[in-house]
Amino acid sequence: MQSLATDGRLRRLVPRSGLDFSSNDYLGLAQAPRIKRAVATAMEAGTPVGAGGSRLLRGNCEEHERLEAEAARFFGAEGALFFGSGYVANYAVLTTLPQRDDLVVLDKLVHASTHEGARAGRAEMCQFNHNDPQSAHDAILAWRRDGGVGRPWIVVESLYSMDGDLAPLDDLVALAERHDGFVLIDEAHATGVQGEHGRGLAARYERRESVVIVHTCGKALGAAGALVTASRVLLDTLINRCRPFIFATAPSPLMAVAVLEALAILKDEPERQQKLAQFVAFTHREIVARFGETWSSSQIVPYIVGDNAAAMELALALQLRGFDVRGVRPPTVPAGTARLRLSLTLNVDEAAITALLDALVDEIGAKRSWRSAS
């Protein structure tokens, strides 16, 4: 612990307070009255809090099946399977579907859950340079030259959680199909935010047999859990062979109710997605006006500081001014890129965004070590 403290990487749990510039509740659905009413109504009708067992035992509830059927319709997929979290879903897919002779090819900046799943799985694994299809192609070719005979699994996020940039999905899907492989697309930060009615950036690939997509429910959908959408064959494989699915107690049926209502809200209230898009455009215009540069093009806005301790000091300074801004340090981000991860949600307004950026300018001016290292 002392070494972490010395390097500015010691983590502590801190209560939430101040204006929300750190959560992933992008559409403000975590406190949505419609979701609260849906859950309350379900409880009154007898829906249990806990499933009471795994899905293959008595834990398979009609709420799970209703959500999965609607999710498949909503996302345009052949089928869907509900997991307890995005972490579990990524881990489950990568420890089950890639086989011993396959290769898992990870973008270097994908979520930790995919790295852990790849390490725990049967297939060989390697990494490619962030958002670089040629680097992924080179890795696959090198594997083939060394005798690789299985299928490659390219693993990416559609919208990256710490940099706020988008993956070149067309090129990566084409690359996987060229090599008779698969793509796992983690839509965690795009579901609900990007695409028509919030269907995500990968919606056009939903019915391809070579594509598996993870839609996290604990971010823009305001609930918890994750939906894996894929072909029926791959979903049946998960049901029969996926240990995190077979041996885990099923997610709460009430959470399935909450996610189902969140999907309905995405269809019924497109103004939420539209308002967030306005906030994103406003914020990036204001950043250019103040700093003369852009930091991303999405609702995730990183301000790179570089030094771990300096990033945390800057975050604390903004917290003391009433803004819930968190510093992010390695290993969550690469060494030397400690940052503030500013998150835009409907829990604030343009006045709050303006106030935060003004405060950031003030604090940066007060200490040169807080100037962006980007």
SS3 96: helix
Report d(CA 261, CA 21) in Å as an integer: 25
Report the SS3 class of residue 146: coil
Q: Which two tokens stand for residue 5?
A: 């403290």
Torsion of CA 190, 287, 31, 227, to 10 degrees: 10
Burial class (CB in 10 A: 0-12, 13-18, 19+), 312: buried
Burial of 284 (0-12, 13-18, 19+ CB in 10 A): middle
Which helix (H) or strand (E) is 157 found in, with range?
A: strand 152-157
- Alpha carbon dihedral 334, 340, 341, 342, in 10-degree steps, equals -160
234 residue type, one letter? L
Residues marked as catalytic:
24, 111, 157, 161, 186, 189, 219
* 55 closest CA partner among 238, 199, 231: 238
User: Is there a contact between 35 and 258 (Cβ–Cβ < 8 Å)?
Assistant: yes
Cα separations in angstroms, 278 against 285, 345, 353: 11, 11, 12
Rounded-to-integer distance, Cα 249 and Cα 227, Å: 16
Contact 293, 334 (CB under 8 A): no
Q: How far is CA 38 from CA 70, 77, 178, 192, 258, in A?
A: 16, 25, 45, 19, 7
